[in-house]
Amino acid sequence: MSTTTVTAPRARLASYSRTFLDRHSSMMPTFAALLIFIALLIGAEMHFGNFLTPLNMSALLLNYAYLLILAVGMTFVIITGGIDLSVGSVMAFTGISCAKLLGEGYSAAVVIPAILLGGAAIGLLIGVLVQYFDVQPFIASLAGLFLARGLAFVVSLSSIRVENESVLWLQTTRWRFGEWYITPTGILALSVAAIGAFVLAFTRFGRTVYAVGGNEQSARLMGLNVARTKVLVYVISGVCGGLAGLVLTAYSGAGYPRNGIGTELDVIAAVVIGGTLLTGGTGYVLGSVIGVLVFATINTIIAYEGAEQAWTRIIIGLMLLMFIVVQRVIVVRSERRR
């Protein structure tokens, strides 16, 4: 038997082993986030005794549906190696615009597509700056942040109450399953997450998103449309910002130009905690969903405890630091194996 025939199976086995390890190591932060979420629930139940109730668990999705929608759009952006700091301001702009237009007598059938287009337009602007003017994503999205926030204050300097029944229906309706319930906003958030997960996992566009984040130059050499992909992920994030503006307006019953200040950092934290690498190329919508649930659970526990909300920032900050370190270790180990 020749040396070649012996070494070939070994080489294939080594290649398969590396692929297996790379795939599973990239999911380690997501598994870690899931374990943290479970540990938080168990610890809260042991401490409070009445935390794991259908009412509380249903309220997690009710209260943070807007954050989940934003996290889906941010996942697309970060997988390509970008960042979008404008999402909180886009949410405020579209939310106050929604309340203003509804107050002036426009129907929801006209207003909802209009605010989604408004969010998409800001996302398109950021994507064009990043791709065609070679502006760093941080700077381009920071410009989008100031633009959207300024437009929100142009629309109104004060809160505008929403009286439109079709918009309020999104939040006030409860579909009950025993002691559990879900609202249309919750179904909307879960639908966005499901669509985002499907697109990333099973479409050519999703594979291109991963390829661009993994190695943009290699993606170009493979003939992939890098420019269109990089612009579209910011458009998707902008649309998610517009949809989150609608959900938050329905949730609060009013539009307010100061909504969403600092929300972009909450979204980024949730996405990173869910396992999406800030360097790009790796990430899952499911992981981002878990990250949002971790964030929501920490907030709820702190509210139960009666402590100041500043502790949420401290805990999330420490967790974010831990996950960034874990991500860095995974990246270094993957590079060494290659």
Q: What pLDDT, on the 0 to 100 scale, is given for residue 218?
A: 93
Higher pLDDT, 232 or 275: 232
**CB within 8 Å of 103: residues ≥ 6 apart:** 160, 161, 162, 163
Q: In the predicted model, is pLDDT for residue 192 greater than 50? A: yes
Among the listed residues 226, 231, 324, 207, the one whose alpha carbon sits nearest the alpha carbon of residue 276: 324
**Cβ count within 10 A of residue 30:** 22
* pTM exceeds 0.85, yes or no: yes
Rounded CA separation 55/36 (Å): 21
Residue 136: per-residue pLDDT: 96
* pLDDT for residue 6 is more than 60: no
Q: Quote the mean pLDDT of the chain.
A: 89
Q: What is the pLDDT of residues 113-129, one digit of tens each?
A: 999 999 999 999 999 99
Task: Tell me which residue of 109, 65, 100, 58 sits closest to 240, measured CA to CA.
Answer: 65
**Residue 95, CA distances (Å) to 75, 79, 105, 117, 330 in order:** 22, 27, 16, 13, 39
Looking at per-residue pLDDT, the higher value among 330 and 313 belongs to 313
Q: Give the pLDDT of residue 209.
A: 97
Q: Does residue 4 belong to any structural domain of this protein?
A: no
Residue 5 has pLDDT above 60, yes or no: no
What CATH number is associated with residue 283?
A: 1.10.3470
Q: Which residues lie below 8 Å from residue 174, measured CB to CB, with a gap of 6+?
A: 181, 182, 183
Considering the domain boundaries, does residue 246 fall inside one? yes
Residue-level pLDDT at 25: 56
The identity of residue 228, as a single letter, is R
Is the residue at 172 inside a domain? yes
Q: Is 15 domain-assigned?
A: no
Percent of the chain with pLDDT over 90: 72
**Residue 307 pLDDT grade (very low, low, confident, very high; cuts 50, 70, 90):** confident
Token digits for 57?
Answer: 């668990």
Residue matched to tokens 């259908």 = 54
Q: With the CA atoms of 188, 192, 195 and 201 taken in that order, what torsion angle do they form, in degrees rounded to the nearest 10?
A: -150
Domain assignment of residue 17, yes or no = no
Band (216; pLDDT cuts 50, 70, 90)? very high
36-40, 159-163, 263-267, 304-308: segment of lowest average pLDDT: 304-308
Question: Greater confidence, 30 or 249?
Answer: 249
23-32, 159-168, 224-233, 284-293: range with lowest mean pLDDT: 23-32
Q: Give pLDDT, residue 19.
A: 40
The model's pLDDT over 42-92, given as tens digits with 9 standing for 90+, comes to: 999 998 888 899 999 999 999 999 999 999 999 999 999 999 999 999 999
Residue 26: which pLDDT band, with cuts at 50, 70 and 90?
low
Q: How far apart are CA 294 and CA 299, in angstroms?
A: 9
Kindly state the average pLDDT of the residues 11-25: 44
User: Is 272 within the bounds of a domain?
Assistant: yes
pLDDT at position 320? 80
- Residue 126 is predicted with a pLDDT of 98
Tell me: pLDDT of 16 over 60.
no
* 288 in a structural domain: yes
What's the pLDDT at 79? 96
Query: Which pLDDT value is given to residue 329?
Result: 73
Tally of structural domains, the chain: 1
**Residue 313 placed within a domain:** yes
Percent of the chain whose predicted confidence (pLDDT) is above 70: 89
Q: Stretch 143-170: mean pLDDT, rounded? A: 96
Domain that holds residue 76: 26-332
Average the pLDDT over each of 9-23, 78-92, 135-149, 172-186 and give the range with the smallest value: 9-23
